[in-house]
């Protein structure tokens, strides 16, 4: 079916005059649609290989976007999904592919911050996301990726790969494996607290990188959070932690020169300030554990990279044979630095929280 005809299956204004591939995403196929009424839309084909249940995924996205749109002052601060002519939020074509459509929101995204202000704005965006969804019934959402941040289960899978040593790679990474095993108890802290009911279940984004924040072209202030495909029940600390792991690290997550990798405490403070200014519905316990969130998510990812290396690189795409090992070691170096700076991070959080909420 032609793209123009698929676009017309949604409640757009006017007829399509232009349908061009848009954006730099690697998972879904995205097209920008312009109509003769002068309006612009974003049409996406959902990747069924990555997302096994597109219908339930769209139930998540539609529920969350509808909820957010009732709470924003500026309509650009929440995605607006267009219904189909039949009133659903997705269209299935003759080939069984699933499509969805949004209003186009003018703005821009960055793959990396060009200033501290950019990082701060991303913190505001994800903090607002937490605040506005704080009373959404998170338990009603579908787990797009089951047990995604269950660190206890991640370690179970990791230790299984260590025992099996399918590719005979264990001997050369025994010290790395021991490093991760030595930190198992600490890394599983948040999961234990969640199981005991000491941390609230939240709506979480699960990909809290700067390139999923839309910035205003004129003011450069954050507008809304994009890419809601991995929105599901989880812990706010995981979202915060992943932002820090990615944005406050001094090197790329696959940097082979470990001397370059550490945690930038100043950037940690910049992000913490923006996040706490906006995420005003967090509990005291959640605030106290923000530094732990950064450590946990970093160690968890290191175990996933190391597991994949031991398994023969089956999950993560690699550019060279040792790529997953390099990734794992970079994350372990960052985690070790976070562990060394845990008290500093805790002091920063306490000081910022006092400034923002005191």
Bridge partner list, 232: 204
pLDDT computed for residue 23 by the predictor:
76
Q: What span, in angstroms and rounded, lies between the C-alpha atoms of 117 and 308?
A: 36
pLDDT computed for residue 183 by the predictor:
98
Q: Which residue has the higher pLDDT, 87 or 112?
A: 87
- Per-residue pLDDT band for 111 (boundaries 50, 70, 90) equals confident
Bridge partner list, 157: none
Sorted by where each begins, the domain ranges of the chain are 3-103, 116-357
pLDDT computed for residue 343 by the predictor:
98
pLDDT computed for residue 52 by the predictor:
87
pLDDT computed for residue 358 by the predictor:
72
Q: What span, in angstroms and rounded, lies between the C-alpha atoms of 81 and 74?
A: 16
- What's the per-residue H, E or C state across 70-103? CCCCCHHHCCCECCECCCCCCEECCCCCEEEEEE
The Cα angle at residue 54 between residues 231 and 101, in degrees rounded to 5: 80
Q: Is 108 exposed, middle or buried (0-12, 13-18, 19+ CB in 10 A)?
A: exposed
Q: Please check whether residue 293 is in contact with residue 190, taking contact to mean a CB–CB distance below 8 angstroms.
A: yes
Q: Please check whether residue 95 is in contact with residue 172, taking contact to mean a CB–CB distance below 8 angstroms.
A: no
Mean pLDDT of 33-41: 96
Q: What span, in angstroms and rounded, lies between the C-alpha atoms of 105 and 65?
A: 14
CB atoms < 10 A from the CB of 196, how many? 8
The Cα angle at residue 121 between residues 264 and 327, in degrees rounded to 5: 40
Q: Please check whether residue 203 is in contact with residue 138, taking contact to mean a CB–CB distance below 8 angstroms.
A: yes
Reference 150, options 316, 296, 355; nearest CA is 296
> Hey, what CATH class is 3-103 in?
alpha beta
- Per-residue pLDDT band for 49 (boundaries 50, 70, 90) equals confident
Q: What span, in angstroms and rounded, lies between the C-alpha atoms of 212 and 204?
A: 13
CATH of domain 116-357: 3.90.1200.10
pLDDT computed for residue 66 by the predictor:
95
CATH topology match: 3-103 vs 116-357: no
Q: What span, in angstroms and rounded, lies between the C-alpha atoms of 244 and 275?
A: 11
Mean pLDDT of 260-265: 98
pLDDT computed for residue 357 by the predictor:
82
- Per-residue pLDDT band for 218 (boundaries 50, 70, 90) equals very high
Q: Please check whether residue 239 is in contact with residue 213, taking contact to mean a CB–CB distance below 8 angstroms.
A: no
């Amino acid at each position: 079916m032609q793209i123009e005809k698929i676009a017309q299956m949604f409640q757009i204004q006017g007829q399509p005059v232009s349908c061009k591939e848009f954006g730099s995403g690697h998972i879904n196929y995205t097209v920008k649609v312009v109509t003769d009424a002068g309006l612009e839309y974003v049409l996406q084909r959902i990747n069924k290989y990555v997302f096994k249940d597109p219908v339930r995924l769209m139930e998540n996205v539609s529920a969350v976007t509808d909820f957010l749109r009732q709470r924003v002052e500026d309509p650009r601060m929440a995605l607006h999904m267009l219904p189909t002519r039949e009133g659903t939020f997705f269209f299935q074509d003759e080939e069984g592919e699933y499509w969805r459509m949004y209003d186009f929101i003018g703005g821009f995204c960055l793959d990396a911050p060009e200033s501290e202000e950019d990082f701060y704005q991303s913190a505001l965006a994800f903090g607002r996301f937490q605040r506005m969804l704080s009373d959404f019934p998170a338990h009603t959402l579908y787990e797009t990726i089951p047990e995604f941040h269950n660190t206890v289960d991640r370690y179970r899978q990791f230790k299984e790969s260590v025992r099996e040593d399918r590719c005979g790679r264990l001997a050369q990474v025994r010290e790395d494996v021991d490093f991760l095993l030595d930190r198992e108890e600490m890394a599983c802290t948040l999961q234990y607290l969640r199981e005991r009911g000491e941390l609230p279940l939240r709506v979480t984004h699960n990909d809290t990188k700067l390139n999923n924040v839309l910035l205003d072209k004129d003011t450069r202030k954050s507008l809304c959070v994009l890419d809601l495909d991995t929105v599901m029940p989880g812990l706010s600390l995981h979202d915060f932690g992943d932002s820090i792991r990615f944005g406050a690290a001094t090197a790329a997550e696959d940097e082979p020169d470990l001397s370059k990798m550490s945690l930038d405490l100043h950037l940690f403070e910049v992000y913490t300030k923006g996040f706490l200014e906006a995420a005003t519905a967090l509990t005291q316990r959640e605030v106290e554990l923000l530094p732990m969130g950064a450590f946990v998510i970093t160690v968890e990812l290191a175990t996933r990279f190391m597991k994949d290396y031991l398994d023969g690189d089956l999950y993560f795409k690699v550019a060279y044979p040792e790529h997953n090992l390099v990734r794992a070691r970079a994350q372990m170096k960052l985690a070790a630095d976070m562990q060394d700076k845990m008290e500093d991070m805790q002091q920063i959080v306490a000081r910022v929280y006092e400034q923002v909420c005191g």
